[in-house]
Structure 1
């Protein structure tokens, strides 16, 4: 089967950061876009204006990825869009508790938001795409912590690793329907979630990163845009890291005196 999916996309978490940049890029490439926000309705409205300024339609739904009915979001937005060709799961959350101090409620909230929610939306999106018989794209935004541990982020890392493996299983199962499923694994990106403005991507120095700086949201969105395009038709089940080379440094530490790299 050849994929001829419609230029209709849903981008969760599109009120700011990577989700907002992704929605804007997809609009430039001719997609109508279904947007979501949790609390930041002003941010979602700003995204919608940017989408519409590019000549495309935008629809907004309030979305809590941690809820058991998260998959219903897809039906609500498909009803407004008139179909679905691309789902991008961006919405997520984190925490900063070491395992011995991690409350179970926090563990469950992070797992529900970062793994259960994307599972439910991807599952429903796949069902919609299969019924339409036009193929499609499902793109899950994970993190370098899909692959690498981080102190104080056990629930976040576990959820992202689980989402990465879910991506691979779905790629195996959905290939026969011309639906590709991939994950994008960002490193440190200059967003509100990381306590930075977008401009900090070029102003902040990161000596522990081979490219020496955080990433910009547009640099992540551009990779998502590729995966949402016909150019990626033979890419599925992949986890594509966009981190400036940060994940290459696992075997290295930085000399705090500033004299350069040293083995650890």
Structure 2
């Protein structure tokens, strides 16, 4: 059998910071960047998770460092950026992925619970983007930013007020950043995953089996997405192939937002005039 050509290293010499990279989608994104030659900064609020993920990347032949950071704390964000600059020389790519899980009705949600989700999923990307953008601008070499949004930014759901509101705000932050940073050759886009197969959901820690099965029935492609499928979209947006794309949101949802199967039943029969 002929030897397979080496996988292209689109990100050799690049430094990619991925927040919330200790597990799930963030880890898959970190793994994908490392596999294509980037030095990955595994940033996570949980030191043990960051170290574990970093060790896995290095064991697989990649280059990575672990940094512990709460993205909602500006002092910690500043320290992270300073540490990465000192250790790696600069930041070429930022992926704002850190998030928290909360499913509660508005009437049952405490102010602290609301604040924590908005702090991590909206204020956090603002703070990290702000300080990374300052660095990228001063450096003068351009850059790429990708924010991990959600279908919840476009479609409300019960027990999802804080999540939906923060993700919707993140989409608008993406657009504003894209406009403000374009003159510095910094592209800013968002990726909105649908229902993705992550360990916490398989173990019913964040979603019930009944909810998951009901959701999957509404996905045209008939299955949950894989973390690697989100990662591939992120890498495209961070690559030179997307140099003329900015301020956009890309859906990775198996067709979920194409329409709703439940609405089709009313069109199964023709009306009196023969129209459906």
Return the TM-score normalized by structure 2: 0.83
| 1:233 corresponding residue in structure 2 | 243
Note the C-alpha offset of 1:106. Answer: 0.7
| 1:216 corresponding residue in structure 2 | 226
- Structure 2: gaps (5+ residues): 1-10, 205-211, 268-276
Counterpart selection for 1:168 from 175, 185, 191: 175
1:262 aligns with 2:265: yes
2: CA distance, partners of 1:179 / 1:210: 35
Counterpart selection for 1:80 from 52, 77, 87: 87
- Structure 1: gaps (5+ residues): 198-203, 255-260
Q: 1:98 to 1:230 in 2, by over 3 A?
A: same
Q: What is the correspondence of 1:1-264 to structure 2 with a 5 Å cutoff?
A: 7-39=14-46, 41=48, 43-72=49-78, 73-196=80-203, 206-249=216-259, 251-253=260-262, 262-263=265-266
Note the C-alpha offset of 1:5. Answer: 11
Q: Rg larger in 1 or in 2?
A: 2
Query: Which sits farther off after the overlay, 50-59 or 141-150?
Result: 50-59
- Aligned pair count? 247
1: CA distance, partners of 2:60 / 2:238: 18
1:15-42 superposed Cα distances (whole Å, 9 cap, x missing partner): 111111111111111110111222361x
8 Å Cα contact 1:190-1:216 kept in structure 2: yes
Once superposed, what is the RMSD of the aligned Cα atoms? 2.2
Note the C-alpha offset of 1:95. Answer: 1.1
2: CA distance, partners of 1:263 / 1:6: 56
